[in-house]
Amino acid sequence: MTIDLSGKITKPVPLYAKVKQSIIEKIHTGEWQPHDRVPSESELVKQFNCSRMTANRALRELTAEGFLFRLQGVGSFVSEPKGQSALFEIHSIADEISARTHRHHCKVLKLAEVTASATQATELGITAGTPVYHSIIVHYENDVPVQIEDRYVNALAAPEYLQQDFHQQTAHDYLSMVAPLTEGEHIVEAVAGDARSCRLLQIEENAPCLLISRRTWSKDHIVSSARLLFPGHRYKLKGRFSS
């Protein structure tokens, strides 16, 4: 314990907290920019004369608090300020990223016709066994993966879906053009990412993620059912409503 100028007894600040504060200060002052690599555990041990456990705790807590993100086998990096999606509105992720003056691009992992399972048929309001379109797309903000879009589309609502180049136009924008949105449904869940999803999002396995299950209607039929998975530490939702 120490005694401050007012005579009060204060507890010493734990060393891991000092390490955290040093890193946070460099981020807040702009000395370290988003995507800059921060010192490794070994480098922090030498810099602060602390144990590896202390350095690990500091990096782990900063990652959980959203200041850093960690790439397995590579290191820890400064996070982008959290992106923000509208909870009660439906927007293109490309537009959301552009509004933050950041760069969007995507990788199309799957774009194919499949046969609707019982679950998919129920979600789309069609008969099981009906042909539907399935796309899996990973969206990036300034080269950092921020969303996996796993979407099933009613083929009757968008018959030319498979012929589209979703590197040039998002699936959301295309569907909004051919089947204008009249109604939407959001279900939001906190989930642990599975191994494949975490690998695609470049986060640790079982890391907390935000899952939005979204269905959209055009007039009286369901156009698509999508599962949108975000890394929990890189995204937040915002909703605005009035009585």
Q: Tens of pLDDT along 177-195? A: 899 888 888 888 889 989 9
Query: If one looks up domain 83-238 in CATH, what number appears?
Result: 3.40.1410.10
The pLDDT confidence band at residue 6, using thresholds 50, 70 and 90, is: low
User: Which pLDDT value is given to residue 235?
Assistant: 63
Same fold, 15-78 and 83-238: no
pLDDT digit string (tens) for 91-135?
788 888 887 788 999 999 999 999 999 999 999 999 999 999 999
User: Which pLDDT value is given to residue 234?
Assistant: 65
Give domain limits for the chain: 15-78, 83-238
The pLDDT confidence band at residue 164, using thresholds 50, 70 and 90, is: very high
In the chain, pLDDT over 90 holds for what percent of residues? 49
Multiple choice CATH, 15-78, 1.10.10.10, 1.10.8.60, 3.40.190.10, 3.30.70.980: 1.10.10.10
The pLDDT confidence band at residue 170, using thresholds 50, 70 and 90, is: very high
Of 113, 197, 117, 185, give the one whose Cα is nearest residue 153: 113
pLDDT digit string (tens) for 33-78?
888 889 999 999 999 999 999 999 999 888 877 788 877 778 888 8
User: Which pLDDT value is given to residue 7?
Assistant: 53
Q: Is the pTM of this model over 0.75?
A: no
Which of 4-13, 26-35, 173-182, 186-195 is least confident? 4-13
The pLDDT confidence band at residue 28, using thresholds 50, 70 and 90, is: confident
User: Could you tell me the two tokens for 117?
Assistant: 């399972």
User: Which pLDDT value is given to residue 82?
Assistant: 57
User: Which pLDDT value is given to residue 2?
Assistant: 44
